[in-house]
């Protein structure tokens, strides 16, 4: 074996002393969103293993826990809850859940609007209308 120089020994000592100190300084951040109960409930809903009423209870309990911890439920949490409300005929609560999803996650607005339109009896959100061709372009094409 090669003998260690005093410089290397000192560097090793400093490294061994600083590593735990630096790791203790790093703060553990909690996840951005509160996920408890959501992923299992979505799986159970999609695999048709869960009763909608039981799913509602799980998600409502998860939302209450998230609120008690000042956390935001995960994207889709309120949408899933709204879907389950709609399945059991609680249309007003479904609408409120879809609106809450839109307010928390604006990127979900097109999908939530489509679900809201479907709930009101329309098949889909109104499609944008194309401008009618002008009469001058029609007469020019005929000439």
- For strands 33-34 and 72-73, give the pairing: parallel
pLDDT (0 to 100) of residue 124: 46
pLDDT (0 to 100) of residue 6: 62
- Of 38, 39, 40, nearest to 61 by C-alpha is 38
Is residue 72 helix, strand or coil?
strand
Pairwise CA distance, residues 7 & 80, whole Å:
61
**pLDDT tens-place string over residues 34-65:** 888 888 888 988 888 878 999 999 999 999 99
The torsion of the CA quartet 12, 17, 19, 23, rounded to 10 degrees, works out to 180
The tokens for 93 are: 């609560």
pLDDT (0 to 100) of residue 2: 59
pTM beyond 0.85: no
> Quick check: 80 and 42 in contact, CB under 8 A?
yes
Pairwise CA distance, residues 27 & 132, whole Å:
60
**pLDDT tens-place string over residues 91-125:** 999 999 999 999 999 999 999 999 999 988 765 44
Fold of 33-119: 1.25.40
> Quick check: 101 and 108 in contact, CB under 8 A?
yes
Pairwise CA distance, residues 108 & 102, whole Å:
6
**pLDDT tens-place string over residues 75-86:** 999 999 999 999
The answer for residues whose C-beta is within 8 angstroms of residue 100's C-beta and 6 or more apart is: 78
Query: How far is C-alpha 104 from the geometric centre of its chain's CA atoms?
Result: 9
């Amino acid at each position: 074996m090669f003998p260690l120089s005093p410089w290397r020994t000192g560097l090793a000592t400093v490294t061994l002393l600083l590593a735990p100190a630096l790791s203790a300084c790093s703060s553990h951040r909690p996840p951005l969103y509160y996920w408890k109960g959501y992923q299992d409930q979505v799986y159970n809903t999609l695999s048709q293993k869960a009763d909608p009423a039981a799913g509602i209870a799980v998600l409502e309990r998860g939302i209450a826990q998230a609120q008690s911890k000042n956390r935001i439920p995960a994207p889709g949490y309120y949408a899933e809850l709204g879907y389950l409300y709609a399945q059991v005929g609680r249309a007003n609560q479904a609408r409120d859940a879809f609106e809450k999803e839109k307010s928390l996650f604006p990127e979900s607005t097109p999908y939530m609007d489509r679900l809201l339109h479907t709930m009101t009896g329309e098949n889909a959100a109104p499609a944008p209308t194309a401008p009618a061709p002008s009469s001058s372009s029609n007469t020019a094409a005929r000439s």
